[in-house]
Amino acid sequence: MEYPSLLPRFLKYVKINSRSDEHADRFPSTQREVDYQMVIMKELEELGLSDVHYNEKAGTVIAEIPSNVDWDVPVMGFLAHCDTADFNSENVKPQITENYDGESKIQLGDTEFYLDPAVFPNLKKYKGQTIISASGDTLLGGDDKCGDAELVTFAEYLLQHPEIKHGTIRLGFTPDEEIGTGAQHFDVADFGAKFAYTVDGEGPGKLDWGTFSAAQFELDIQGVNVHPAVAKGQMINAIQVGIDFQNALPQDQVPEKTDGRQGFFHLMDFSGTVDNAHLAYIIRDFERDGLESRKDLVKQIVADLNKKYGGDRIKLKMWDQYYNMADELAKHMEIIDLARDAYRACGMTEINEDPVRGGTDGSQLTYMGLPCPNLFAGEENMHGRFEYTVLESMWKAVDVLIKMSELNAERAKK
């Protein structure tokens, strides 16, 4: 269905810079995120939603679409994040290509950059549709302003169409998803839903309920620095110890050599001198056991090297980041089925449930007691200048939210 207010709303949102900042020591990480959230909050108030408020501790704008049925329906929630990724987001100038022919290159503004179907074959799927991109110097911010605009448009539609029967629906607009810190502040009790969905995914038909399990570690290596002339048998070069550690890991289990369901160790930072070296890694695995054995391997290599070089030369700091939500969602398959049924009812026959080689806010929320798969929002080429979205995909996402609301109420009646 067409929702006339969706495009102007989306264009208004993407023009507001709401980039998060992983180096900030405040929460939410930037004031501009909060300023943007206030724009959404004002709109929710004007549309007449209930219980519209900003939960300061959680940095979340929360609102309710009240139930319009006289039976009990499990409270369902939808979430979208308000920050954008770590890429220039100042002065976003959205560019609209109507009735795209499915084969031409789309120039981004007057820059040397193009959306080229030879490079980005997904574009071919959108022949005849409306492509919204940025203009070469910035990202678009469709991740996740697609989700933001879809949720507000969905709420507006339900309030204007009381003939559509639904239970209580809670909406949440969260900060700092892109830097991975937003979800840990989330206030599950105040949000008040029994289950929820983030609306922050790719094109129509994508349904995410499997993610990596993730850990992170850092090595601090203390060397022994003596003059190279008399170093024999005395110098311990911290850089070399770091190289030894890296070489002891399975060399084919790195991001650039893995895909599908394979996990990896990823060396993200390596800096140092003879005296001291610092290494930072992330570990990813779809299986929880797999994550644990990778962590054990790291501990084992550190222990071996400490034995070899003597003392407590390598200090290891390791912590878990999030777990594969599939393990937990397997206990709540009815909420996956609800999404699947809504997708099909909205004409998507092929549902892509490939696990995400990453995490979502839902990976953390699911383990905080709010089961939370991720729905498609129409995002393409996220996180850079080639980002785009498709108006028809966004309309379809709103269709799905409405259908899920109806189905959830129908099921509770039986």
Smallest CA-to-CA distance from 406 within 169, 166, 73, 75 is with: 166
* Distance of closest approach, residue 83 Cβ to Zn ion, in angstroms: 9
| Residue ranges in 178-217 that form contacts with Zn ion under rule CB under 5 A | 200
Q: Give the nearer residue to Zn ion in terms of CB position, either 64 or 208.
A: 208
Beta strands across the sheet bearing 131-133: 95-97, 131-133, 388-390, 379-380
Give the active site residue among 33, 43, 64, 83. Answer: 83
Q: Give the nearer residue to Zn ion in terms of CB position, either 151 or 277.
A: 151
Site string for Zn ion, 218-257 (x = CB under 5 A): ----------------------------------------
User: What DSSP string describes 271-285?
Assistant: EE-SSEEEEEEEEEE
Smallest CA-to-CA distance from 69 within 178, 164, 133 is with: 164
Size of the site for Zn ion (CB under 5 A): 3
Q: What residue ranges in 9-75 does DSSP mark as E strands? A: 50-55, 60-65
Beta-carbon contacts of residue 262 (< 8 Å; ≥ 6 apart): 253
* Distance of closest approach, residue 94 Cβ to Zn ion, in angstroms: 18
* Distance of closest approach, residue 144 Cβ to Zn ion, in angstroms: 4
Q: Give the nearer residue to Zn ion in terms of CB position, either 143 or 202.
A: 143
Q: Which two tokens stand for residue 302?
A: 């550190």
* Distance of closest approach, residue 92 Cβ to Zn ion, in angstroms: 16
Beta-carbon contacts of residue 248 (< 8 Å; ≥ 6 apart): 301, 304, 305
Q: Give the nearer residue to Zn ion in terms of CB position, either 147 or 167.
A: 147
Q: Give the nearer residue to Zn ion in terms of CB position, either 64 or 148.
A: 148
User: What DSSP string describes 71-101?
Assistant: S----EEEEEE--B-SS--TT---EEE-S--
Q: Spell out the SS3 assignment of 296-351.
A: HHHHHHHHHHHHHHCCCCEEEEEEEEECCHHHHHHHHHHHHHHHHHHHHHCCCCCC
Long-range contacts of 71-74 (CB under 8 A, 24+ apart): 71/409, 71/412, 71/413, 72/167, 72/412, 73/166, 73/167, 73/168, 73/408, 73/409, 73/412, 74/167, 74/194, 74/195, 74/408, 74/412
Contact status: 176 vs Zn ion (CB under 5 A): no
* Strand 374-376, strand 195-201: pairing: parallel
Q: Give the nearer residue to Zn ion in terms of CB position, either 43 or 177.
A: 177
Give the active site residue among 43, 64, 177, 380. Answer: 177
| Residue ranges in 113-152 that form contacts with Zn ion under rule CB under 5 A | 143-144
In 10 A of CB 321, how many CB atoms?
17
Q: What does residue 279 show for φ and ψ, rounded to 5 degrees? A: -125, 140
Cβ–Cβ < 8 Å for 197, 221: no
| Residue ranges in 271-300 that form contacts with Zn ion under rule CB under 5 A | none
* Distance of closest approach, residue 218 Cβ to Zn ion, in angstroms: 26
Active site residue 83: yes
Return the H-helix or E-strand segment holding 133: strand 131-133
* Distance of closest approach, residue 301 Cβ to Zn ion, in angstroms: 34
* Distance of closest approach, residue 36 Cβ to Zn ion, in angstroms: 14
- The Cβ-side half-sphere exposure at 131, using a 13 Å CA radius, reads 30
Q: Which two tokens stand for residue 276?
A: 């001291």
Q: Give the nearer residue to Zn ion in terms of CB position, either 144 or 150.
A: 144
Q: Give the nearer residue to Zn ion in terms of CB position, either 142 or 263.
A: 142
* Distance of closest approach, residue 202 Cβ to Zn ion, in angstroms: 10
Residues in contact with Zn ion by the rule CB under 5 A: 143-144, 200
Q: Cite the active site residues.
A: 83, 177
